[in-house]
Amino acid sequence: MMQSGGFSPADVFTPADVFGATDIGLFNRIHPDNLFTDTNGTINAAVGDAVAYIEDLSGNENHRIQSTAAKRPTLQQDPNGAYKLVYDGVDDFIDVTYSGVISTPVSTVSVVRKAPNRRISTETTDTSNLRLNSETAGDGTLTFYARPSGGANPSAVGISIPVGVEILILGTVWAQENSLYRINGVQNTGVFDPGPNSETAGYRTAADNANPPAVHTVLEEYGAIQIDRELTTEQFEQIEDYFELEVGIAHSGGFSPASLFAGGTEGAWYDPSDLSTLFQDSAGTTPVTAATDPVGYFGDKSGRANHAVQATAAARPTYQTGPARATLDKVDDRLSVTVPVGGFTGTMVLATDQGTASYGVTIPAGAYEIGGRGGLYFPGTALVGQLIRDGALSEGEAAATEAYFVENGATAGYGSVTDFGSFWRDWSEITSFPLINTSAGTSFSVAWSNCSSLTSFPLINTSSGTNFSYAWRNCTSLTSFPLINTSAGTNFSFAWRNCDSLTSFPLINTSAGTNFSYAWLACKSLTSFPLIDTSAGTSFSLAWSNCSSLTSFPLINTSAGTNFKLAWRSCTSLTSFPLIDTSAGTNFARAWENCSSLTSFPLIDTSSGTNFDRAWRNCSSLTSFPANAFDNVKGGDFTDAFTNTALTQTSIDNILVSLVTSGIATGTRVFDQSGGSAPSAAGEAAIDTLRSRGWTVTVKEA
């Protein structure tokens, strides 16, 4: 079976390799290549077929056969793609009787899915002294039956199966001395004594030693090996590694996320590939059993009982297979977990159908959503796995956890995603962001909006990005920003709005940018701004509004700009302004309103301007304004344009005379000025002319 990127464990080692010429036993690989629908072993089984014949790959020809069609298990495939035999618990079993009995020591490795009351018997006769078997009890513990003629040895009762183990790889050595058992690669010794002369005559999956069995096991079997000698530790490890890769439960060298919660470490681990943790209702009473079932309860596999639930039926994600995942409608689907007192400060590994990554997080105590923020915002359309640990993961631990989820079917990276729109929007718990592959991304609209705990951002590949609107809006803790490649970007509206902890900004390539509206609105800590290329920009509305710490502004190219509404409003620390090209500008409403430190203003080109409503209002230090500034304007809306300024008499005269020169006699015709000086006689004459043309003029009285 090919697993995880095409690697086959059969290419390296198989349990058949441990068998010597005189060793007795069997090796069963649950795979269509080795399963047959007929008792002669000639017709290979496919998924859904009843299996009559399991090939023995040990070389001993100990094939397991079931002659009765109604008693045959069925070949199935789990969400990870691993093959398994499913026994109905009514009458299904399949066994083999060896040519002779084998005595202890006997080594066995059985691979089954953990579930209550499932037993593997390693004998096939009803002779009571031929008893070597193991059972998973209803409370999730192990019991070994190893006495030659009785029940379980009391010392072999209640052996706990570790939290997180769902597919059990159980290795045992049945020996009169030094008996041992191994659970998924972890060895224990001295647990039980099978007694003298214990023997077995074969191998079967059933719940008693009658022949034929009278009690049957509901079982999912993934493979087995039995041999009539004590295997070495190295051989056990090789066999376990083989089955782990076959079944898809060994990740990064046998890693299990359960190890991350040792010693009572807090957190949560959600894994849709483990159906035993999923329930359709929030009470956890109706199991999820098939694709399209709703998920109202997500069991926490960390062992900390931080289960996630959704009481509202319409807001429950949907379970799907291929891979196992919880799909989200991105309307309202999500579950909620109650984070315990103290919260989680550490690492979150999030695995989706679009990509997998690890994030630094700080999650406060209380309700926390698993799935889309508000049901809306999520980096993908399905959750394949999520792990949160209180305490940062090491780089290796994070990589191993990501690999675990990827082997469960998550997409490894985000390299194929083109639209990152709203992926991490409102994920305010994220404190650090990984260097993911975004090379195919064209739209980053709203991608990190409201990620208010990010203090820095990685140098991701945004070379294909065209839309950066709202991308980092309200990332209020960002103190720096990298020189990302934005050369293809056209839309930067709202991109860094309210990033009010940024003190500087890089010289990014914005040469293709047309829309800069609101781009740096309220970046209140910026003290300077780079000479970016804005030559294609048409809209600068509110672009630098409320950048109240800017003391200077560069001579950017705004020759294509038409909309400058509120562009530099409340840049209260600007003491001067450059002679930018505003020849195409039509809307200057409130453009420099509240720029209270400006003392003079350049002779910009206003020849296309139609709206100057409140353009310089509250520029309370503005004394000098050039002549001829409005000679060629196209509109007369100067409502409150110079209210609360400090214009000299020459300056107010310059403005009024220039408005007369414009010849505006239709449309809105309003001019307001207060503060500073009253106009001279020349200014008053200009007022008379304007009023004769229908203007409403209000100025400071002499």
Token pair, residue 622, equals: 């503005």
Four-point Cα dihedral 528, 533, 536, 540, nearest 10: 0
Q: Please give the pLDDT value at position 191.
A: 54
pLDDT at 194 over 70: no
Q: Higher pLDDT residue, 226 or 670?
A: 670
* Furthest CA-CA distance within the chain: 126
The mean pLDDT value for 414-439 works out to: 96
pLDDT digit string, tens, across residues 8-51? 333 346 889 899 888 888 999 998 889 999 999 999 998 899 99
CA distance 385 to 349: 8
pLDDT at 62 over 50: yes
Give the HSE-up count for residue 576: Cα atoms under 13 Å, Cβ half-sphere.
6
Angle at 679 (CA atoms; ends 676, 681), nearest 5 degrees: 160
CA–CA distance from 700 to each of 252, 259, 648, 679, 683 (Å)?
78, 77, 11, 8, 11
- Judge if the upstream peptide bond of residue 212 is cis by omega within 30 degrees of 0: yes
pLDDT at 121 over 60: no
Query: In angstroms, how far is CA 114 from the centroid of its own chain?
Result: 28
The mean pLDDT value for 589-606 works out to: 98
In eight-state DSSP terms, residue 162 is: P
With a pLDDT cut of 70, the percent of the chain lying above it is 84
Q: Please give the pLDDT value at position 152.
A: 43
pLDDT digit string, tens, across residues 469-524? 999 999 999 999 999 999 999 999 999 999 999 999 999 999 999 999 999 999 99
- For the chain, the first-to-last Cα distance in angstroms comes to 95
Say which range, 77-81, 237-241, 275-279, 666-670, has the weakest mean pLDDT: 77-81
pLDDT at 308 over 90: yes
Average pLDDT over the chain reads: 87
| C-beta of residue 536 within 8 angstroms of C-beta of residue 511 | yes
Residues sharing a CB contact under 8 Å with residue 260, sequence separation 6 or more, in sequence order: 267, 269, 302, 387, 389, 393, 397, 401
CA distance 576 to 470: 29
Which amino acid, 104?
T
Q: Please give the pLDDT value at position 11.
A: 34
pLDDT at 128 over 50: no
Token pair, residue 110, equals: 């059985």
Residues sharing a CB contact under 8 Å with residue 194, sequence separation 6 or more, in sequence order: 104, 132, 146, 147, 148, 153, 174, 175, 176, 179
| C-beta of residue 101 within 8 angstroms of C-beta of residue 137 | no
Q: Higher pLDDT residue, 250 or 318?
A: 318
| C-beta of residue 386 within 8 angstroms of C-beta of residue 349 | yes
pLDDT at 151 over 60: no
pLDDT at 405 over 80: yes
Q: Which of 75, 65, 161, 68 is nearest to 118 (CA)?
A: 161
